[in-house]
Structure 1
């Protein structure tokens, strides 16, 4: 039986707040750790400065919170989300019918927002070496690869024509000052509709919403999970960077092939190709087993040339300590 709320809106808000808290802590620690330049006397104010007290990010309270969040992610969120995506693929393949899909579009939006907030939090934690070590010990790679595989197999990539059509539709109806403001979306357990006798009834899944804008023409089984796959790849890139242990975990979970599948255009995940190439470069660095997989696949011409051409892309670290990718001599790739 499917839960109506895999992730409730309140839980998604709490995750977003926690993400901002941990991001602020990470930024403040980077600022505090900047030492004065000993070669410039003007920057040294005390010949015997007192070192600041150590900031223990992994105290018992913080660790307990993150461990609980991760356990929910592993035991509930990933299994049910992957099951939804798998069912979407079954419906597209004709092995199931749209009537078999258990959630409406309103429910899918709530699930999507919650999953995205989980991944946002893990993306922030993966940028910090101490939290990254803990996530690696918990083998979060298993859940990330499982989600990536389901998204690759169950959700079709949006073509360039579809993306252009979507952009053209948006530009054809630009917002103007004379337009009426959008109505506020109010959470409610069901969508009321008034029948011809004036009685209030429950609207069926997939019907047009009564002005609130929650249920549109799109079917819930066609939900696209936009940008979710790209975010998974970004988290994996942070985890696998300079980590032989994560390189091996990704390979053991079939992640090399899954990330290779992301090296093609997908209008639902802008710039995922560049991010996947960066992740692959990290996976191959000084890892003979992963390189062997690439050599075996190279004969089938499924490896992007940029992965093997060291002159094409290079990695860099931005001002916030995040690893990025750019063309040699060019500007950094956009997220």
Structure 2
């Protein structure tokens, strides 16, 4: 059928706007479209046709979300995305990134994130969409000449994050028992872990490039969600900081036999704690209300306990020390809290020094002061 429909597409579809095809009632065109996206020869020109149509008039991409046929085609793109990520040819991902970038630039990102959620798409397709959105936001914000307003995306990003966090917690609580999962459950766990990673990265990218959106992000209960997830992770997830682990990692690195994350096990939810602490550091900076909230949620001690090396969370020590510095800055209550922990010998003196503080006796009590 694919060969039979190719001629029709060339003479009727490629000469017509994308809207005519996707809004039409001819299901043969849609079936052919889907088959062409799977075809090793015709998938390229078909994707190019969609990309060029959207590029010429980004607002016409609404039809991909608002028409039944458009949704079917876009879902087919999402189904293909993971195989494109694992392939060596970046051509398809480049075109897909261009399509999503056009959508975001035309303020259609919220429409697509809202439309292509469950039950319209499954969890794997949702993850593919988030990955593409993450890459597109990153590339758009790198271009200083491009204007991208991420504010409309925040509500649905927070919804996705709270959903993924809730789904992750049962798996995280089981991590210290070293459970054996079925293939289906392991696939679900890996999907949840990846979604959390991508969402944390999106938040960080937005804050790094559009810090003015921090108040909007804080309007949601993002601090509560982050500290809660960090607390669950701290209680149950294994920490790889033993000498044997460090020596093994150093040996692999020196021999060139290891990539950044190829020895990480999704069941340990690696990278999560480090990314949460990094994001917390960005959110608490120069904001006493948020600094206090983190302390009230027992987040300050969580940051303090991560001022050590953990191979499951590269750079977590450095990120924790930086976050600690922001938590203590111009905040006497937080400084007093840490001084009391130091008196109980539950705080690393080295970590305090690297954060720019040291202890001193004042009227017989330990207090923190800035190092000179």
Q: Hey, what does 1:160 align to over in structure 2?
A: 243
Divergent runs of 4+, >4 A: 99-103, 169-175, 310-313
Considering fraction of residues, name the structure with more helix.
Answer: 2
CA contact (8 A) 1:230 1:269 kept: yes
How far off is 1:84 after superposition?
A: 1.4
1:216-254 superposed Cα distances (whole Å, 9 cap, x missing partner): xx998xx22222211111111111111112212211211
C-alpha change, 1:311 and 1:101, in structure 2 (3 Å) is closer
1:87 counterpart residue number: 174
What aligned pairs does 1:309-320 form with structure 2 within 5 A after superposition? 309=353
TM-score by length of 1: 0.60
Could you tell me whether the CA contact under 8 Å between 1:105 and 1:219 is conserved in 2? no
Whether the aligned pair in 1 keeps the contact of 2:281 and 2:323 (CA below 8 Å) is yes
**1:63 matches 2:140:** no
Paired residue for 1:130, among 208, 212, 215?
Answer: 212
| Pair 1:170–1:136, CA change in 2 (3 A) | same
* 2:308 pairs with 1:264: yes
- In the alignment, does 2:160 pair up with 1:78? no
Q: Contact 1:87–1:101 at 8 Å: present in 2 too?
A: no
CA deviations 1:24-72 (Å, max 9, x no partner) are: 443334x68xxxxxxxxxxxxxxxxxxxxxx572xxxx53432112123
Q: CA deviation at 1:170?
A: 7.4
Q: Separation in 2 of the partners of 1:231 and 1:225?
A: 11
TM-score calculated relative to the size of structure 2 = 0.55
In the alignment, structure 1 segments of 5+ residues that lack a partner are: 33-54, 93-97, 176-217, 314-327, 329-335
Q: Deviations over 1:183-236 (max 9, x none)?
A: xxxxxxxxxxxxxxxxxxxxxxxxxxxxxxxxxxx998xx22222211111111
The 10-residue stretch of structure 1 (8-17 or 166-175) with the greater mean CA deviation from structure 2: 166-175
Higher RCO (C-alpha under 8 Å, 6+ residues apart): 1
Alpha-carbon distance, 1:261 to partner: 1.3
Q: Which residue of 1 aligns with 2:197?
A: 116
Contact 1:233 1:279 in 2 (8 A): yes
Q: Is the 8 A contact 1:7 1:110 kept in 2?
A: no
The 5-angstrom pairing of residues 14-25 of structure 1 reads: 14-25=129-140
Cα distance, 1:86 vs structure 2: 1.2
Larger Rg: 2
Superposition map of 1:1-335 within 5 A: 8-29=123-144, 57=149, 62-74=150-162, 76-89=163-176, 91=177, 98=179, 104-127=185-208, 128-158=210-240, 159-166=242-249, 168=251, 174=257, 223-309=267-353
C-alpha displacement of 1:277: 0.7
Give the Å deviation of 1:275: 1.0
